[in-house]
C-alpha cells in the first residue's frame, strides 16, 4: 500500500466515530473454563455469518437486514474487508456494521486481513494496526478480532502473526483473537499456531458435486456431511481442549460457484445435522459462510446483496432452534455434563448438558443404517423427556435408560426435567 493511502487510512481511523461508537469502557470479552464466550460476564453462543447482509440492507419484506438476523436468535457478524485491504471505505463500512450490531444486541468479528500479520521492517503496517484497534476497541458492537484466514494451509509464517497478536493484546486486552483454519494440515502443524490465537476452528463445506470435495482423503476418507463432526473433533484435539473451537459451516463456497462447478447448497436437514453435529463434537460457536456470494444468489436476492431465499427456507429455521431466543440456548452455553451417560450404538454421537435442573441430551446419527439407539446412565429421577422440535413426541426412561430410533443424518434433542 502506498504511503499516500496510509495517510488516508490514518485520517479515517482517527476521525470521529459517530453513531453508537466509543462507549466509555467497551466490552470485556473473556472465555469461561469450559469454552463459553463471556461478554461483560454474560455467556453468549456465537452464531454468525460470513459475510452478513449489508449493514444498512433490507430483507425482501423491507425490514432491516441485521435486525432480521438478530430476531431469529443470531448473535454475531463476521465483518471487515472482503476482497480489499483496509482503507477509508472499508473502515466506514466497518463503522456501519459495528453500529448496526450494537443497535440489535449483536457483536462483530472484524477480519484484520493484511493487518493480522506484521513482518519485520514494516512499521507503517504496525501503525495502521494500532490505529485500527484504537478506533474500534471501545465500540459496544465489537466481540472478537479475526486474525489471519487459514494460515496453516497458506504456510503463513508464525512470527509475523505472533507480533500482530502481541500488538492486539497490548492495545486491546479485552477482545480475544480468532483464527480459522482450512480443512488441511496435521494436528501438529495446526497446533503450531496455538500462540497466535485465543479461539480457533475450521471451515468445512461438504455439500458439493461430487460430495466432500472441500476435504482431502489424506485426512478423512469420509465424503458425507458428517465431515463436520470429524473436523470439529480434530480442532478440539489441536487445542487439547484448552481453547474454544468455533466452526464455519456452509451456505455456499467457491467449490460450488467456480466455472465448471455445479451450484449446490445444503438443505434444511443437512444444515440442521451439521449444526448439531458441530455442537455435539465440541463447537462453542458457529458461523455460516457464503450468503453473500453473488453467483449463488437469485436475481431478487442479488438486488438485496444476500441469500434471503436460503435464509428463509433453510437457515432461519435452524437458528430459531439454537439461537438466543430458543429454549435450547442455555444448554449451548453450559459445560458438558459429568453424568455417566453412554450410548454404545455405532454411529450415534451425543452430548449432555444440565441447566437449572433440566437435562438436555443432543444426539445425532451419522451415515449408515437406521438404528434403535439405547442411552443409559441417566439419573433415575429423569423419566420423561420432550423431544424438542418434534412435538408431540416424547420418550420415557426406566432405570436410567431409554431407546429411540435414528435414521442416517438425523438429530434428536431431548429435554428431561427432574421428576418431582
CA dist list (Å): 220 to 227, 255, 346: 8, 18, 18
pTM of the predicted model as reported, rounded to 2 decimal places = 0.94
Q: Judge whether 195 and 158 are in contact, CB under 8 Å.
A: yes
Exposure letters 304-337 (e unless 16+ CB within 10 A, then b): bbbbbebbeebbbebbbbbbbebebbbbbbbeeb
CATH number for the segment(s) 342-417: 2.60.40.1180
Packing angle of the helix pair 88-103, 123-136 (nearest 10 deg): 30
CA distance 13 to 404: 57
Would you write out the chain's pLDDT as a tens digit for each of its 420 residues? 333 333 333 333 433 333 333 345 799 999 999 999 999 999 999 999 999 999 999 999 999 999 999 999 999 999 999 999 999 999 999 999 999 999 999 999 999 999 999 999 889 999 999 999 999 999 999 999 999 999 999 999 999 999 999 999 999 999 999 999 999 999 999 999 999 999 999 999 999 999 999 999 999 999 999 999 999 999 999 999 999 999 999 999 999 999 999 999 999 999 999 999 999 999 999 999 999 999 999 999 999 999 999 999 999 999 999 999 999 999 999 999 999 999 999 999 999 999 999 999 999 999 999 999 999 999 999 999 999 999 999 999 999 999 999 999 999 999 999 887
Q: What is the pLDDT of residue 24?
A: 52
What are the residue ranges spanned by the domains of the chain? 3-333, 342-417
Residues 6+ apart with CB under 8 A from 392: none
CA distance 37 to 325: 17
Q: What is the pLDDT of residue 6?
A: 36
SS3 for 129-164, per residue? HHHHHHHHCCCCCECCEEEEECCCCCCCCHHHHHHH
396 phi/psi in degrees, rounded to 5: -120, 135
Please choose, from the candidates 27, 107, 111, 24, the residue with its C-alpha nearest in 3D space to the C-alpha of residue 66: 107
CA dist list (Å): 80 to 73, 127, 164, 186, 255: 22, 18, 16, 29, 23
In sequence order, what are the beta bridge partners of 250?
Answer: 289
What Rg, from alpha-carbon coordinates, does the chain have? 22
19 phi/psi in degrees, rounded to 5: 55, -135
SS3 for the chain, per residue? CCHHHHHHHHHHHHCCCCCCCCCCCCCCEEECCCCCEEECCEEECCEEEECCCCCCCECCCCCEHHHHHHHHCCCEEEECCCCCCCCHHHHHHHHHHHHHHHHCCCEEEEECHHHHCCCCCCHHHHHHHHHHHHHHCCCCCECCEEEEECCCCCCCCHHHHHHHHHHHHHHCCCCCEEEEECCCCCHHHHHCCHHHCCEEEEECCCCCCCCCCCCCCCCCCCCCCCHHHHHHHHHHHHHCCCCCEEEEEECCCHHHCCCCCCCCCCCHHHHHHHHHHHHHCCCCEEEEECCCCHHHCCHHHHHHCCCHHHHHHHHHHHHHHHCCCCCCHHHHHCCECCCCCEECCCCEEEEEEEECCEEEEEEEECCCCCEEEEEECCCCCCCEEEECCCCCCEEECECCEEEEEECCCCEEEEEEECCC
Is the Cα torsion angle 193, 163, 28, 143 positive or negative in sign?
negative
Q: Which fold has domain 3-333?
A: TIM Barrel (3.20.20)
Amino acid at each position: 500500500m502506498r504511503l499516500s493511502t496510509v495517510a488516508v487510512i490514518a485520517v479515517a481511523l482517527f476521525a470521529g466515530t459517530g453513531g453508537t461508537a466509543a462507549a466509555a469502557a467497551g466490552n470485556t470479552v473473556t472465555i469461561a473454563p469450559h469454552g463459553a464466550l463471556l461478554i461483560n460476564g454474560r455467556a453468549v453462543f456465537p452464531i454468525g455469518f460470513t459475510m452478513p447482509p449489508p449493514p444498512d440492507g433490507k430483507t425482501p419484506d423491507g425490514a432491516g437486514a441485521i435486525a432480521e438476523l438478530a430476531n431469529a436468535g443470531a448473535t454475531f457478524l463476521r465483518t471487515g474487508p472482503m476482497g480489499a485491504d483496509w482503507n477509508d471505505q472499508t473502515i466506514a463500512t466497518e463503522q456501519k456494521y459495528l453500529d448496526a450490531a450494537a443497535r440489535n444486541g449483536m457483536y462483530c468479528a472484524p477480519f484484520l486481513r493484511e493487518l493480522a500479520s506484521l513482518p519485520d521492517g514494516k512499521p507503517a503496517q504496525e501503525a495502521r494496526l494500532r490505529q485500527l484497534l484504537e478506533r474500534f476497541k471501545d465500540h459496544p458492537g465489537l466481540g472478537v478480532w479475526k486474525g489471519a484466514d487459514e494460515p496453516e494451509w497458506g504456510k503463513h509464517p508464525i512470527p509475523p502473526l505472533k507480533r500482530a497478536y502481541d500488538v492486539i493484546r497490548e492495545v486491546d486486552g479485552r477482545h480475544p483473537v480468532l483464527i480459522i483454519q482450512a480443512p488441511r494440515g496435521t494436528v501438529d502443524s495446526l497446533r503450531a499456531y496455538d500462540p497466535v490465537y485465543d479461539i480457533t476452528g475450521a471451515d468445512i463445506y461438504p455439500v458439493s458435486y461430487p460430495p466432500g470435495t472441500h476435504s482431502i482423503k489424506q485426512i478423512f476418507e469420509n465424503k458425507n456431511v458428517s465431515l463436520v463432526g470429524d473436523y470439529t473433533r480434530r480442532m478440539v484435539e489441536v487445542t487439547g481442549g484448552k481453547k474454544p473451537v468455533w466452526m464455519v459451516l456452509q451456505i455456499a463456497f467457491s467449490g460450488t460457484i467456480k466455472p465448471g462447478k455445479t451450484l449446490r447448497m445444503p438443505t434444511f436437514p443437512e444444515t440442521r445435522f451439521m449444526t448439531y453435529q458441530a455442537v455435539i463434537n465440541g463447537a462453542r460457536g458457529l458461523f455460516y459462510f457464503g450468503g453473500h456470494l453473488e453467483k449463488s444468489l437469485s436475481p431478487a436476492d442479488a438486488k438485496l446483496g444476500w441469500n434471503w431465499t436460503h435464509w428463509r427456507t433453510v437457515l432461519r429455521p435452524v437458528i430459531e432452534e439454537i439461537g438466543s431466543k430458543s429454549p435450547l440456548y442455555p444448554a449451548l452455553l453450559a459445560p458438558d455434563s459429568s453424568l455417566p451417560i453412554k450410548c454404545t450404538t455405532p454411529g450415534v454421537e451425543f452430548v449432555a448438558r444440565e441447566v437449572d435442573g433440566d437435562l438436555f441430551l443432543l444426539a445425532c446419527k451419522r451415515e449408515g443404517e437406521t438404528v434403535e439407539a439405547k442411552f443409559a446412565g441417566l439419573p433415575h429421577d429423569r423419566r420423561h423427556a420432550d423431544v424438542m422440535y418434534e412435538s408431540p413426541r416424547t420418550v420415557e426412561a426406566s432405570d436410567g435408560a431409554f431407546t429411540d430410533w435414528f435414521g442416517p443424518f438425523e438429530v434428536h434433542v431431548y429435554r428431561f426435567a427432574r421428576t418431582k
